[in-house]
Structure 1
Amino acid sequence: MTIGLDLGSFQFRSMRIIDGKLVARCCPAVFATMADTTSHRRLLQQSNTQFATCSGQLLVFGEDAREWSEMLNLTPCPLLRGGRIPASDPVSRQVLALIVDALLPAQTELNSVCKMTLPGGGFDDQADHRDAEFFLQLVTLRGYRPEFITATHAVALSELPDAAFTGITVTLGHTTCEFGITHSGREIVRCVVMSGLDSFDGSPRLGSGEVIQEPVATTASIDRDYYRFFVDVITEARMQFEREGTLKTLPRMLPVVCAGGITATSSFLPLFQTAWNEANWPIETAPIRLAANSSLSVVRGCLVQAELEQPSEAKAA
């Protein structure tokens, strides 16, 4: 059995095929703590809530963390900081292991591929390598052969079959924005802008007593902030691609596809398209379109790549 695993900075998702149907699981990358008392244990057990214990605290995670935070006035905590696992934080690592176990059914078949993304846009420095090794170990322990794929490549595989898997893909995440160019199914260049939707003034933030939620543009003033943000990240991506030189070799009129939770809002597309037009790209691009399912596009592409690679492995064996 193959499976796709999208490890985002804000939410983790998995997708697999069961009886010919796509089955997805999602879990926010947050947790909440409460005192380890008899009454709290009874409440969690009666509601069939999965929890862990650590240093005299009860830990709940994902949607349960959100629900219990609302009921008991707790503050949910993000498991990742800037897309990275906090250093020397055994609590976060314990909860991350529980979430991965919940998303990946244990596998007994040999060579079952798990194509997975990595939080924070990749692993280009020492801290990234440590995080990558940690997640690789978790997936391996579930019985899979883990392999990395970029979020932008996954979106291309999921959303660009009508363009021969050729085009520009954009993922707008919580901590990074990623731009990739794929040609005939192979990602040839990619850039990561280390600025996400939680890094500018227009973005809703996690405050005292608030529940973490996907950033959403709702008012005219926030729309203006989002527009400025889009201009900044698009311009940075264009400059990186121009320095790399690949844009000059690409076919004209490339399609552009955007994915990410923010793309589901009604104001996103006109704002992003205007910002894109003002960036003065050196090649002509088609009107921007949105992923068919903004929240599942990346994990679906992970599964597509896993399915494509699994038959070749079976033949080789």
Structure 2
Amino acid sequence: MIAAIDFGSCWIRSATRAPEDDSRMRMISERSEYAMLPATDLHRETLRAQQIPFAECEDTLVVIGNHAAATHWLSRVPCTPLFVDGRVPTNDRPARQMIGVLIESMLPLVSDEEAPGLCVMTVPGCRDGVDTAATNELFLSRLVQMRGYETLVVRPSHAAVLATCGDAQFTGMTIVVGAETTDLCVSRLGMPIASAEIPVGCNWVDLELARQYQIQKFDEHGTGYLDLDAVRQWKQYSDIHLRTPVSERERTLVRLFSVVMDRICRSVAGLMKNSQVQSAFASNRIPVILSGGAARTKGFASLLTERFIDHGIAEQIQAIRGADDPDTAVLRGCLVCAELESETLLRNNAA
């Protein structure tokens, strides 16, 4: 069994492919959050009537994953992310159990009769020089291994190369703008040469927009919470283009994205000065491919191009384009990596 799983701070996505039928692929996406509701008979009856699965934890009903979004009308309190700030919960045992439940529902169990499966995976949050990185990787890897898989952890930008750079012989720069982090990688013929990461992503943009415009929801006690879901729905369903903002809110969105892009530009400039990158590309320009949720925003690529010009690095770039289906680019790259690694293992075992 070959599998891939992309642990994101907003979404957990998995893909599996059975060896007996390579033509069929199974993909699942679950929101990485949970909702908490009062443990009343009325709430239980409502959830059962709506066929929404739930668990009971002390005096609370807990709904996880995609089902949590279906309970918004039952509670005025926003859902809680499973990976707060891109970290695996350490002192929240129920949340750790919820992550395990989601993995069980998303990854088929490899039977004892089958050879060990292989799962290529990403982990949320920053990895370079961060103490929590090893904890994140160890905990999530163990949960996947309990399903019968050997695990291989890769960076999101490394995986994105295999899914998005085929037309350029898997050569170029991939930038994955995630919820909590932005990951960058320069590759040549599919091999990573240099990487960088930035501890900021779309969640920071959404949070700042909600703060500046006081986009809130209030519970029955009058306590206010920043309504990030409302911000995300506005971004998704409004006809927003970052190059032609109309309202003041849209102009604020452009300014916030520009702050993130300035940090991306500084990281790109650092990568371009890397001796291995300079040796591999010499005077050749590097294509840039964007992945992650931000890449779906209209005008993102052209606004980033403008920031590259302002930072004096545009002459080193061939073009900037968004990946096809940018939300799943990392997951698809993980699956390609799993297939390549599986073939290598089979050849080694045969030898």
TM-score higher than 0.5 = yes
Cα distance in 2 for partners of 1:236, 1:184 equals: 22
Q: Which of these residues, 273, 276, 279, is aligned with residue 249 of structure 1?
A: 279
Counterpart of 1:158, as a letter, is A
How many residues are treated as equivalent by the alignment?
A: 316
TM-fit CA distance, 1:38: 2.8
Give the 3 Å change call, closer, same or farther, for CA 62–163 of structure 1 in structure 2.
Answer: same
- Give the equivalent residue in structure 1 for 2:44: 41
Q: Tell me the alpha carbon deviations over residues 12-42 of structure 1, each in whole angstroms, 9 at most, x when there is no partner.
A: 1011236513331111111011122333233
- The alignment partner of 1:110 has SS state of coil
- The alignment partner of 1:313 has SS state of helix
- Give the % identical residues: 24
TM-fit CA distance, 1:113: 0.7
Counterpart of 2:82, as a letter, is L
TM-score for both structures, normalised by structure 1: 0.91
Deviates more, 1:158-167 or 1:245-254: 245-254
- The alignment partner of 1:255 has SS state of strand
Give unmatched runs, 5+ long, in structure 1: none
Counterpart of 1:79, as a letter, is L
Q: Which of these residues, 148, 153, 178, is aligned with residue 153 of structure 2?
A: 148
Q: Tell me the alpha carbon deviations over residues 70-105 of structure 1, each in whole angstroms, 9 at most, x when there is no partner.
A: 343342111112100233111211111111112212
Give unmatched runs, 5+ long, in structure 2: 219-226, 241-249
Q: Which of these residues, 231, 239, 247, is aligned with residue 270 of structure 2?
A: 239
- The alignment partner of 2:9 has SS state of coil
TM-fit CA distance, 1:240: 5.5
Deviates more, 1:45-54 or 1:259-268: 45-54
Determine if contact 1:111/1:313 at 8 Å carries over to the other structure. no
Counterpart of 1:3, as a letter, is A
- Give the equivalent residue in structure 2 for 1:93: 96
Instruction: Verify: 1:167 aligned to 2:172, yes or no.
Output: yes
Cα distance in 1 for partners of 2:330, 2:232 equals: 16
Determine if contact 2:308/2:314 at 8 Å carries over to the other structure. no
Q: Which of these residues, 77, 83, 87, is aligned with residue 84 of structure 1?
A: 87
- The alignment partner of 1:120 has SS state of coil
Instruction: Verify: 1:275 aligned to 2:278, yes or no.
Output: no
Cα distance in 1 for partners of 2:131, 2:187 equals: 27
Counterpart of 2:63, as a letter, is V
Cα distance in 1 for partners of 2:150, 2:344 equals: 14
Instruction: Verify: 1:72 aligned to 2:72, yes or no.
Output: no
User: Comparing both structures, which one devotes a greater share of its residues to helix?
Assistant: 2
Task: Report which of the two structures shows the higher radius of gyration computed on alpha carbons.
Answer: 2
TM-score for both structures, normalised by structure 2: 0.83
Instruction: Verify: 1:9 aligned to 2:4, yes or no.
Output: no
How much is the aligned-residue C-alpha RMSD, in angstroms? 2.3
Give the 3 Å change call, closer, same or farther, for CA 234–140 of structure 1 in structure 2.
Answer: same
Determine if contact 1:198/1:204 at 8 Å carries over to the other structure. no
Cα distance in 1 for partners of 2:305, 2:163 equals: 21
- Give the equivalent residue in structure 2 for 1:295: 327
